[in-house]
Amino acid sequence: MIRIAFEKSSTAIYMSHLDLMRCMTRALTRAEIPAKYTEGFNPHLYLVFAAPLALGITGEREYFEIKLTEDMAPEQIRQRLNATLPRGLKILDVFEAENDFNEIESADYRVFIEGKTAEDWNRFFSAPTIPTEKKTKRGMETVDLKAEIISCRAEDTENGVVLSLHLPCGNRKNLSPLLVVKTFAPNEETYYTAARCAFFDQKGKRF
Amino acid sequence: MELERLLLRVKNPAWYSGGELNSITKDKNRVKTRFAFCFPDLYDVAMSHLGIKILYDILNRRDDVWCERVFAPAPDMEGLMREKNIPLFGLESRDPIKDFDFIGFTLQYELSYTNVLNMLDLAGLPVLAAERTDDMPVVIAGGPCTVNPEPMADFIDLFNIGEGEETLLQLVDLWQECGGNKREFLEKADRLESCYVPAIHDRKVKVRRRIVKDLDRAPYPEKLIVPNAKAIHDRISMEIMRGCIRGCRFCQAGMIYRPFRQKSPERMMENIQKLCQSTGYEEISLTSLSSSDYEQLPRFADLLLDYCTPRKINLALPSLRIDNFSEELLKKLRAVRSSGLTFAPEAGTQRLRDAINKNITEEDIFESCRIAFQGGNTAVKLYFMIGLPTETDEDILGIADLAQRIVDYYYQLKTKKNGKGVSVTISLSTFVPKPFTPFQWEPQIGLDEIHRRQQLLKNAITSKKIRLNYHEGKTSVLEGIFSRGDRRLGKLLLTAWKKGCILDAWDEHFRYDLWMEAMTECSIKAEDYAGRRYAYDEELPWDVVDCGVSKAFLIRESKLAYENKTSPNCKEKCLGCGVKSICGGDVCDPNCL
């Protein structure tokens, strides 16, 4: 299993997860990487992402995995892909995977929210519970942000607040930083940026 | 930047962000001419269009020209742009297009006309050509609708009629020669064969549609922009030929893209290899008006399959004609992957199929169905039209009857797989009379009559295996008005747009009530345009354009329709349609086919 670390920024942040999968599939084709296809009537490229990244969020170090049908040096894969990716996507490194994406438990996010202060956040976060509506497969559900957020820190900057959020991420439990933003700053005109910085396993070990 | 602040507030930010693979960025200080290529509809539709890709490539091959893409924003984005005073911009540079040299629109369908007005307004320019000053960009238009330029004449400075591969570069050259003097440019451009400057053109001088004689020599892109957000047709389009040897009497494309020209398999394989390498697309669609008329199709299909199969690339082959649909070819295509089958008999009875010169017999239809069913297909989609000249209720009932007999045929064949039922989908559209067709003088049926005939068909279908899809009909009426319209319609467009009519091709945005209001205010009646029989000897709004096909030919064909008589296709016999006058006779000679 070959793991590929990449960055998603600039205009590429407006790609949805599905768009990104299509984009990477085509990039692997263009770069002539000997990537393995699934068997069956409707074969498609074997391609697994660590965790979907919502449209609009920057990914500082995201991952996907492929299987190879013949050997190719990691550095060659990196260079070939980087020569053919659209603006905002960049391969950081390529290596043999030593663990499984299923082990991902949490992720770090950095969120900037314009016009808000650390004090605003601390007041917001000091409430005993912070109920909010979350869209799930079963419909809308009420969740308690306070209980879901693993840890957080707020710092003032010139024109807003920067939140460092540690949130559950992965198959078992997941919380989008955008839900935090929408609950904290519900005005739809509020300008924000969000980035996912790192993934962690259950023991807090960085991916 | 201001734009970034808005993008996360709209539904499809990737439609406005730019940055796609193979989009072209240049240093604006090092180019002489900036061109905004506008497709007046939403991104996912616009990015599916082949013409824009060809012309984007041709313009950008020149170092001194920078062509960018501009599309109609969806209402959510438009609202924010207006609120924040962000003028319409080019996707590549994000610079306002009001500072460009050219703003070029492609007019592909009448229902995009209000979007042109809206885009000019969003750019910060007056929508009326007469109100734009000499320092504002030259607004030009091309595309199939411009064979009747009159309804849009108030808004466009210059129409470029016909295929733009060569003429667009001539216009850029002329613009540079004139040193950007718009008035001088328009005067000189109006004297070019294919150009029409409505403000100054002498209607006695015919504007001649330009064509590219040799498709093998015409430039074809080596790279295509790969959208970040899925386009409707997100794949490689390979144009295999232009023009059509058939002479279906309702079909404008079959007339205005004459003569029939084919590309060589070798040249196309060259194109395809480059495009596959530069895009990574997993599907190739062969585009033409009637793919199965491509003479070297079996050989080309072999070449294609040899290339595509090991690379797991799908082939899509639309516009296959029912009559020469070959069993072997189907098998080959299925070797890669196949979707359901679509045929276009257009009319339900042989009498009417003869009248419209759709040279398809019932045997052809059933033979094609047999091949399809025995090949394992169980879904058949059939295209029909209502409102065709000479149509009677019997013809409409014939559609239901034909569909039913196809269903029955499936069960008779006994090749059906266990548990698999057949599904026949009828896709019904309404006939719209179009300029430069033998039916250009015909009246269109009115809205009530459209509804009555739709209902008649609906009630005649009893099987649950048959599905009927049709459009309500109001948009067809509007198309009917504009396709044969004259310059007075400019006022109607302006009024309707001011009332809020945009994106008329989209059900969720189409506002027939506002169109009705606008028509009342402008004293324009549908019956005077769509619903009227034009006379053979009447001066037609589009008489200023010479498309190649002569009026005498169109009248001959029109009369044959009333005798239910078919005409041979170009391969069988030259009917003297007149297109030789613009192609010099060396292209469409039947011996060359």
pLDDT in tens, B494-540: 999 999 999 999 999 999 999 999 999 999 999 999 999 999 999 99
Q: Looking at beta carbons, which residues of chain B come within 8 Å of A188?
A: 9
Residues of chain B neighbouring A190 (CB-CB closer than 8 A): none
pLDDT at B313 over 70: yes
CB contact under 8 A, B230 and A27: no
Question: Number of A:B CB contacts under 8 A?
Answer: 66
The single-letter DSSP state of residue B524 is -
Say how many residues make up chain B.
593
Nearest to B18 among A11, A37, A188 (CB): A11
Q: Do B312 and A43 touch (CB under 8 A)?
A: yes
Distance from CA of B9 to the nearest CA of A (A): 7
Residue B482, pLDDT above cutoff 50: yes
pLDDT band at B582 (very low <50, low <70, confident <90, very high): confident
Tell me whether residues B20 and A189 touch, CB distance under 8 A. Answer: no
B415 — pLDDT class (breaks 50, 70, 90): low
A115 touches chain B (CB under 8 A): no
Q: Please give the Cα distance from A42 to A29 (Å, whole number).
A: 17
Helix axes B164-177, B50-60, angle to 10 degrees: 40
User: How much of chain B exceeds pLDDT 70, in percent?
Assistant: 93
**Between vectors from CA A187 to CA A182 and to CA A191, what angle results, nearest 5°?**
80
Cβ-Cβ contacts under 8 Å, B19 against chain A? 10-12, 86-88
Distances (CA, A) of B322 to A25, B358, B428, B566: 36, 10, 17, 17
Q: Given CB atoms, is A11 within the 8 Å cutoff of chain B?
A: yes
Question: Which of B19, B278, B311 comes nearest A87 by C-beta?
Answer: B19
State whether B280 and A189 contact (CB < 8 Å): no
**pLDDT at residue B390, as a whole number:** 97
Q: Select the residue from A15, A38, A44, A187 to test the B interface by mutation, using most B Cβ atoms within 10 A.
A: A15
Average pLDDT over every residue of B123-148: 98
Question: A86 at the B interface (CB within 8 A)?
Answer: yes
> Which chain A residues contact residue B20 at CB under 8 A?
86-87
Alpha carbon distance B243, B245 (integer Å): 7
Residues of B with Cβ-Cβ distance to A29 under 8 angstroms? 276, 280, 282, 311
Substitution target from B2, B3, B8 for chain A, most A beta carbons within 10 A? B8
Task: Spell out a b/e string for B266-301, using b for 16 or more CB atoms within 10 Å of the CB, else e.
Answer: eebbebbeebbebbbbbbbbbbbbbbbbbebbeebb
- CATH ID of B2-208, from 3.90.1150.10, 3.40.50.280, 3.40.50.2300, 3.40.1030.10: 3.40.50.280
Q: ipTM value of the model? A: 0.95
Closest-CA residue of B relative to A37 is B312
Q: What pLDDT sits at residue B335?
A: 47
Tell me how far apart the alpha carbons of residues B485 and B149 are, in angstroms, rounded to a whole number: 9
Residue-level pLDDT at B477:
95
Distance, C-alpha B66 to centroid of its chain: 25
Residue B326 has pLDDT above 80, yes or no: no
Cβ–Cβ below 8 Å for B229 and A29: no
Contact B1/A at CB under 8 A = no
Work out the minimum CA distance from A72 to partner chain B, whole angstroms: 19
**Stretch among A33-42, A59-68, B439-448 having the lowest mean pLDDT:** A33-42
Angle, to 10 degrees, between the axis of helix A177-184 and the axis of helix A118-125?
A: 100
Query: What value does the mean pLDDT take over residues B304-318?
Result: 86
Whole-number average pLDDT of chain B: 92
Binned at pLDDT 50, 70 and 90, residue A124 comes out as very high
Region A21-29: mean pLDDT is 97
Interatomic CA distance for residues A94 and B517, integer angstroms:
63
| Contact across the interface for B228 and A85, Cβ inside 8 Å | no
pLDDT at B319: 59
Q: pLDDT confidence of B593, banded at 50, 70, 90?
A: very low
The separation between the first and the last C-alpha atoms of chain B, rounded to the nearest angstrom, is: 56
Write out chain B residues lying below 8 Å of A192, CB-based: 8
How much is the pLDDT for B506?
95
Shortest distance between the Cα of B15 and any Cα of chain A, in A, equals: 9
Q: Which of residues 38-57 of A touch B (CB under 8 A)?
A: 42-43, 55-56
- Is B8 near chain A, with CB under 8 Å? yes
The dihedrals phi and psi of A81, each to the nearest 5 degrees, come to: -65, -40
A86/B279 touch (CB, cutoff 8 Å), yes or no:
no
Determine contact: B271 vs chain A, CB below 8 A.
Answer: no
State whether A10 and B19 contact (CB < 8 Å). Answer: yes
Question: Tell me: the pLDDT tens digits for B354-366?
Answer: 999 998 889 888 8
Q: What is the CATH number of domain B236-488+524-529?
A: 3.20.20.70
Instruction: Please enumerate in sequence order all residues whose Cβ is within 8 A of that of B554, keeping only pairs 6 or more positions apart, or say none.
Output: B255, B436, B437, B438, B440
Q: pLDDT-derived band of residue B420, with 50, 70 and 90 as boundaries? A: confident
CB within 8 Å: A84 and B18: no
Round to whole Å and give the CA distance between B155 and B140.
9
Residue count of chain A, please give it.
207
pLDDT of residue B592: 44
Shortest Cα distance from A124 to chain B (angstroms)? 23
Give the helix/strand (H/E) hosting A162: strand A160-168
The verdict on a CB contact (< 8 Å) between A22 and B230 is yes
Contacts of A86 in chain B (CB under 8 A): 19-21, 226, 228
Confidence band of A138 (pLDDT split at 50, 70, 90): confident
Q: Is A74 left (phi over 0), alpha (psi -120 to 50) or beta?
A: alpha
CB-based burial of residue B196 (10 Å sphere; 0-12 exposed, 13-18 middle, 19+ buried)? buried
Is B397 touching A (CB cutoff 8 A)? no
Q: Please list every residue in chain B whose beta carbon sits closer than 8 Å to the beta carbon of residue A30.
A: 277-280
Q: Which residue of B has its CA nearest to A191?
A: B5
The alpha-carbon gap from A30 to the nearest alpha carbon of chain B, in Å, equals 5
Q: Check A192 against B8: CB less than 8 A apart.
A: yes
pLDDT tens readout for residues A97-108: 999 999 999 999
- Angstroms from A15 CA to nearest CA on chain B: 6
- What's the whole-number mean pLDDT along residues A187-192? 92
What is the mean predicted confidence (pLDDT) over B547-576?
Answer: 95
Q: Which residues contact A150 (CB under 8 A, 6 or more apart)?
A: A106, A166, A167, A168
CB B229 within 8 A of CB A19: yes
**Residue B282 forms contact with A (CB below 8 Å):** yes
**Which DSSP symbol is given to B145?**
G
A15 interaction partners in chain B (CB closer than 8 Å)? 14, 228-229
Q: Determine, for residues A26 and B282 on separate chains, whether the beta-carbon distance falls below 8 Å.
A: yes
Option in B9, B21, B280 nearest A29 (CB):
B280
Chain B interface includes A202 (CB < 8 A):
no
Q: Say if residue B377's pLDDT is above 80.
A: no
B234: distance to nearest CA of chain A, Å? 11
DSSP string, B76-131: HHHHHHHHTT---B-TTT--BGGGSSEEEEE---GGGHHHHHHHHHHHTS-SSGGG
Partner-chain residue, chosen from B7, B228, B276, that has the shortest CB–CB distance to A86: B228
Do the Cβ atoms of B20 and A23 come within 8 Å? no
Domain boundaries, chain B: 2-208, 236-488+524-529
What is each CA distance from B501 to B81, B117, B152, B155, B504, in whole angstroms?
18, 10, 16, 16, 7
Number of alpha helices (DSSP H) and beta strands (DSSP E) in chain B: 22, 17
B228 to chain A, closest Cα gap in Å: 6
Average pLDDT rounded to a whole number, residues A143-155: 96
pLDDT band at B78 (very low <50, low <70, confident <90, very high): very high
Q: What is the mean pLDDT of residues B56-83?
A: 98
